[in-house]
Structure 1
Amino acid sequence: MFESAELGHRLSKAEYETIEPKLRTDLLDVQFDLFEHKDFAVVILINGIDGAGRGETVNLLNEWMDPRHIEVHAFDRPTGEEGDRPPMWRFWRALPPKGKIGVLFGNWYVDPIGERAGGRLKKAPLDQRLSELNRFEAMLAAEGVLLVKFWFHLSRAGQKKRLKALESSPATRWRVQQADWDFYEQYDRYREVAEHVLRRTSTGVAPWVIVDGTDPQYRAVQVGRTLLERLQRRIEYVRKGFRPRQTAAPLVAAPDERNLLNALVLSQPMDKKAYDKALEKLQGRLALALRSDAFARRSLVLVFEGMDAAGKGGAIRRITEALDTRQYQVIPIAAPTDEEAAQPYLWRFWRRLPQRGKVAIFDRSWYGRVLVERVEGFCSEADWMRAYAEINDFEDQLVSAGAVVVKFWLSVSQDEQLARFKARESETFKRYKITPDDWRNREKWPLYEPAVCDMIDRTSTSNALWTLVEADNKYFARVKILRTLVNKLEAVLE
């Protein structure tokens, strides 16, 4: 894969000086077009061999283009804040909004390659991580992100020559450390691993571009032209109304119309006395679990979904009553802001993930993609169909990083919902809880019910099970939620 990058590509000074002015102008023009229309975001990955000119190329892009609309992120070892969250969290935070270019130096490929080359990662786990990255990049592409991946290559002899040249000049000597020479000694192993990684992750939506790092002038022109052509082509497609062709197989309802929701017995018995007794005991167990030393190494992510007036708010309050206010955050999810709409749809949830020892309670969540967006037609069928797998990947990453993920669907009957709507309208202090949208959503009950059943069926995994809560009796619902949560926590923290 690297053979073509070892042919000794070169451009003379005269050739470079002929190409460079127009290339800079064209890049600047296309960047302004991107920023003005904000049709999509651009993510540039910078990877490769030490000494192949990665840093110089990033500096050159900032020189050739408007740096105000280029966001450069150089990743080193995770900080304490980053280490407290799933590994991909810091990369999600760095994604640029539509209209901007994000340059990610030291990105999600660094650790898999380095760990495998260093003997700390076996081939099977490596390939599993690469498959996860392929799915992640496919999701970015489906969300409209233009992903441009550069691998800067040098031969072993070329790397040695480059390091010696840097050491020989007082102006650049500081750039060569002992670690660079240690890396040079491992060159053959690193190249072997890198070639395997690039072959596994060079996909139709995110192919790798191999850059010969031998000659700075050739390198600059190759990167500049590649970026220009990719941007021009994407802008042309967008202007013509082109969208990648996506199809989805239809979901078919059960012939007998029996499903997960209509099989529930929604009115479950529990009186106030039994409720108060259970509530006190369960809240005490919850407080002890979340203050334990074992929980300090984990985090808790709670998801509450349900029909309007199902009792999500009341259930959440019975949980937070048992917690230290410094330990948790309740995150109500509504329509995305302009900032959030300029990013892939999972971005606004990644950025709100809790650190270790903390609790995030989502009052509605990322499941809006397969519920309200599906029912209201805010996204295509292909978008919400692919979201099931993307959500499962997301939750798997949370659990792998130590989070406890607990998800509740609160289910009420249509008669009970109607009674609660009318009660809200009649009570002054509850009027804010009822809106015209609630009545409109009620009319779409026949559309929401199959969407909920599909969601539960396709995203209730061993890592993140759904708990269905019969919520016509609020006492019963709150106790079931607390008991489920406490039992899950205590089992995990043993």
Structure 2
Amino acid sequence: MFESAELGHTVADDDYKKAVPALRQALLDVQYDLAQAKNLPVLILIGGVDGAGKGETANLLNEWMDPRLIHTCAFGPATQDEAERPTMWRFWKELPPKGKIGIFFGSWYTTPILDNMDGKIRKKLDSTLNDIVRFERMLTDEGTLIIKLWFHLSKKQQKTRIAALEENPKTSWRVTEQDKEHLKHYNEFRTVTGHILRETSTANAPWMVIEGFDANYRSLTTGQYILDAIRKNLDIKTARPRKATAPALLPPADGLNVLNALDLTKSLDKSDYESELEEYQGKLNLLTRHEKFKDIAVITAFEGVDAAGKGGAIRRITQALDARHYSTIPIAAPTDEERAQPYLWRFWRQLPRRGRLTIFDRTWYGRVLVERVEGFCSEQDWMRAYAEINHFEEQLIGHNIVLLKFWLHIDQEEQLKRFEEREKTAFKRYKITPEDWRNREKWDEYQTAVCDMIDRTSTELSPWTLVESNDKKYARIKILKTICKQLEKKLSSL
């Protein structure tokens, strides 16, 4: 992986001075074209051997290009706020929007490298790398250009470079004890980073390994590579080639599915409802004040047929909670800011820290429901979203987040009754819109999409709870019971 980056590449000073002005102008031109087009986010990852010029390169790019259109992030050890959320949270919230360039100095590769500095390739490492490949594939499928730069030095070059930096009073501060310790383990470091780069250098996000000893060579190579990568992607005017895919699940030949198999006649009388509501709201309150609740977070995700009672169910949950410890996130059509990012971005940024509960009123499943049915994304996009969503939820659960997903279902007759009631009741009119009536006309299409969603994303780790909601009282109690049961199970396991 590193053979070509240990050949002793150099560029003479005169040649460097002649090449730089034209390169800088071209980089500025492509940067402004990128900003004007606003159809491509660019993410530059900078990694490499200590002393190979990583910091100098990040600074140089900000000098050669317009820094107002660059967002540079240097990632160190996770802060307390970051540690209380899934590992990838801090990277998600810093992703560049379309038209901008993000530079990550340190990235999701740092921890896998540091955790394997002894050079041994562990099974856990390969699992982590598989997760990284899936994540980067999702970003590129969403339109992000990922440029991964690795700056390399041979062992001899690194030793020379560190010594030179140390001897110069103006640069000695840049050499740390950690750098010296890493030099002692150079061979092991080279082994593990070689493996990591090979396993994660993919067609959609390849690594560019650059010899870092000669600053002139390093700078020109980096600048030209970034220029070529951005210009190539900006100049692609044709649509992405269509990929062959098998069809989504076909409707069952006998018409039976997970929705019409529900018994929507289930109900509770008023006295039982009031008694159980008091019981389970009290239990939920106690569970969220449990001493171990501070070690977990909770996400309740609500989806359902229009007018199925999501809002009423959510209110019965929040009535039991301390307002300081929960938040409700209503999801509507994405804003311009959100459309400039991958579709999961707006959900990642809302993840709760430990000791808190977040309620999503509509969720990331919009990609495989509304966007699918209304044609807001391609079939290829919503088909790949099932796996991306499952991976997202695996990360949540792996970080001690209790994820509870509810689908509230009613039949067409009950929906019509509720729609008409909303139109007649002054204080409920805001709940009914022309969009609701239009969606009703696509009832069968939405039912097919929901059945596909449940089949493909109801996993062992994160199953769907289907809630029979023709009777609101029954639905609310079933939801509260489910939350209490899963919270008790989680807290008892800690």
- TM-score in same-fold range (> 0.5): yes
Higher mean displacement: 251-260 or 408-417? 251-260
1:140-289 equivalences under 5 Å are 140-237=139-236, 240-251=237-248, 252-289=250-287
Q: Report the CA distance between 1:464 and its aligned residue.
A: 1.0
Quick one: distance in 2 between partners of 1:349 and 1:133? 19
Partner SS, residue 408 of structure 1: strand
Seen in structure 2, the aligned counterparts of structure 1 residues 373 and 319 have a Cα distance that, compared at 3 Å, is: same
Residue 18 of structure 1 aligns with which residue?
18
Matches of 2:133 and 2:43 in 1, distance apart?
15
Cα separation, partners in 2 of 1:329 and 1:247, compared to 1, 3 Å: farther
Whole-angstrom CA distance in 1 between matches of 2:243 and 2:210: 32
8 Å contact kept, 1:43–1:145: yes
How far residue 178 of structure 1 moved from its aligned partner, in angstroms, is 1.3
Matched, 1:55 2:55: yes
> What is the CA deviation profile of residues 151-199 of structure 1, one whole-angstrom value per residue up to 9, with x for unaligned ones?
1000011001000000111101111111110110011111100000000
Matches within 5 A, 1:460-471: 460-471=458-469
- TM-score by length of structure 2 reads 0.98
The letter of the residue matching 1:154 is: L
**Is the 2:294–2:355 contact (alpha carbons within 8 Å) kept by the matching residues of 1?**
yes
1:85-138 deviations in Å (ceiling 9; x for gaps):
00000000110000000000110000011101257x861111011011101100
| Deviation sequence 1:234-276 (CA, Å, 0-9, x none) | 0110xx2332543431022211111000111112121110000
Task: Structure 2: give runs of 5+ residues left out of the alignment.
Answer: none
- Say whether the 8 Å CA contact 1:248–1:381 is kept in structure 2: no
Letter of the 1:438 partner, please give it: D
Per-residue deviation, 1:463: 1.4
For residues 48 and 254 of structure 1, the distance between their equivalents in structure 2, rounded to whole angstroms, comes to 53
Secondary structure in structure 1 of the residue aligned to 2:182: helix
Counting only pairs closer than 5 Å after superposition, residues 286-301 of structure 1 correspond to structure 2 as: 286-301=284-299
For 2:256 and 2:31, the matched residues in 1 are separated by: 54
Aligned to 2:253, the other structure's residue is in SS state: coil
Paired with 2:118 and 2:325, the residues of 1 have a C-alpha distance of 38
Quote the RMSD (CA, aligned, Å).
0.9
Deviates more, 1:242-251 or 1:278-287: 242-251
Q: Take 2:73 and 2:244, find their aligned partners in 1: how far apart are those partners?
A: 35
Contact 2:52 2:213 in 1 (8 A): yes
- CA distance, structure 1, for counterparts of residue 399 and residue 280 of structure 2: 27
Matches within 5 A, 1:54-73: 54-73=54-73
Structure 1 residue 59: Cα displacement: 0.6
Determine the C-alpha separation between the residues in 2 that align with 1:466 and 1:194: 40
- 1:326 alignment counterpart: 324
Indicate if the aligned counterparts of 1:113 and 1:194 stay in contact, CA closer than 8 A. Answer: yes
Offset of residue 404 of structure 1: 0.2
Matches of 2:365 and 2:267 in 1, distance apart?
30
The 8 Å contact of residues 121 and 192 in structure 2, kept in 1 or not, is answered as no
Whole-Å separation in 1 of the counterparts to 2:254 and 2:3: 61
3-state SS of the aligned residue for 2:147? strand
> Which residues of 2 match residues 394-433 of structure 1 at below 5 A?
394-433=392-431
CA distance in 2, matches of 1:185, 1:244: 48
Q: Distance in 2 between matches of 1:308 and 1:190?
A: 55
Q: 1:227 & 1:185 partners in 2: Cα distance?
A: 33
- CA shift, 1:462, in A, is 1.4
Equivalent residue pairs, number = 491
- Deviates most, 288-297 or 207-216: 288-297
> What's 2:87 paired with?
87
Show the counterpart of 1:486. 484
1:154–1:213 CA contact under 8 A, matched in 2: yes
Post-superposition CA distance 1:407-444 (Å, at most 9, x none) = 00000010000000011011111111111001000111
With over 3 angstroms needed to count, the CA separation of the structure-2 counterparts of 1:325 and 1:244, relative to structure 1, is farther
Separation in 2, partners of 1:173, 1:235:
41
Match of 2:368 among 361, 367, 370: 370
Summarize the Cα distance change of 1:64–1:346 in structure 2 as closer, same or farther, 3 Å threshold: same
1:306-345 deviation per Cα after TM superposition (whole angstroms, max 9, x unaligned): 0100000000000000000010001000000000000000
Q: Would you say the 8 A contact 2:304–2:408 is kept in 1?
A: yes
- For 1:82, the aligned partner's letter is E
In the TM superposition, 1:37-48 aligns within 5 A as 37-48=37-48
Q: Do the aligned partners of 1:303 and 1:363 also contact (CA within 8 Å) in 2?
A: yes
Looking at structure 1, the residues matched to 408 and 190 of structure 2 have their Cα atoms a distance apart, in angstroms, of 53
SS of residue in 1 equivalent to 2:377? coil
> Aligned to 1:336, which of 334, 337, 340?
334
Q: Please give the alpha-carbon distance, in whole angstroms, between the structure 2 residues aligned to 1:347 and 1:65.
A: 27
Secondary structure class of the residue paired with 2:116: helix
CA contact (8 A) 1:282 1:483 kept: yes
- Aligned equivalents of 2:267 and 2:76: distance in 1? 56
Check the 8 A contact 2:43/2:145 in 1, yes or no: yes
Segment of structure 1 superposing worse, 38-47 or 261-270: 261-270
